Amino acid sequence: MAYSRNFIQLRFGGVFGSTSSSVADKWSVGLKVANPGVDLVYDVTKITNLVQTATTLMASFHNGGGALSGTNCFLLWGTGALIGTNGKYNPTTQSTIFYTLATPVAGDGTPVHPWNTALVVSLRTARPRGPASNGRVYYPALSAAITAGTGRMNPSTVANRLTGFKTVITGINTAAGTYAAGTQVCVLSDVGIGQTSAVTALRSDLRIDTQERRENDQGADYQSVTIP
């Protein structure tokens, strides 16, 4: 199995805790940037610029774009690397580009949920189903209010969050277009002959979800009582 195109793997992440320096656990999310028509040519300067622009866009969303990520969820960094169709560095001699924000960015809203709480943003493409039709971003949503009568988020709140994330995607697409015309956020699949499809829409369910590995650094702390 192999991807049909090479791509730039972007990741953004940080920590959970009372402050950005009191690291209790970590989190990250990723996006892929590709050109459905041609393979990208490795250019470390362009990748660096893309990572910095994308991380700045994500910081704005994280803090005030309706993300509802919570004030105990901090965004600290972004990374990028060109990945070949075999899923490995291309070229193999490169290193991941790291960009650390000058000041840690706290999320918005008073946290009311566990750190593994997320509201999934689905990355939709023109393919209605099958490989490269749908990607998923488990973005933290620790301050997302739940409607008592439904157990779900309010539709307008979810719509506002999607609008904020759309700003991130369109901003990244603009920056990616300077790397090479037609380059944009894509969903890629390595199933069969591989598929690469541009993201054309975003959607989120009203139900919150979980990303269990965001509790990896938190050991179990059982409480118990005895039965006479």
Residues 78-88: pLDDT tens digits?
Answer: 999 999 999 99
Q: Which two tokens stand for residue 156?
A: 């307008």
Mean pLDDT of 23-30: 92
Picking from 30, 112, 120, the residue whose alpha carbon sits closest to that of residue 72 is 112
- Note the pLDDT tens digit of each residue in 115-148: 999 999 999 999 999 999 999 999 999 999 999 9
3-state DSSP: the chain helix, strand, coil percent, rounded to 5? 20, 35, 45
Q: How many CB atoms lie within 10 A of CB 78?
A: 26
pLDDT at 219 over 90: no
More confident of the two residues 192 and 214: 192
Region 47-68 average pLDDT = 96
Joined together, the tokens standing for residue 185 give 């956020």
Which segments of the chain are extended strands (E)? Answer: 7-16, 25-34, 73-83, 97-106, 117-125, 134-140, 184-189, 195-203, 209-210
Q: What's the whole-number mean pLDDT along residues 61-83?
A: 95
Does 17 score more than 80 pLDDT? yes
State residue 1's pLDDT score. Answer: 63
pLDDT at 214: 76
**Neighbouring C-beta atoms of residue 157, cutoff 10 Å:** 18
**Reported pTM:** 0.93
CA distance 58 to 110: 19
Determine the pLDDT at residue 82.
98
State mean pLDDT over 6-33: 94
What pairs with residue 15 in β-bridges?
A: 26, 74
| pLDDT computed for residue 174 by the predictor | 98
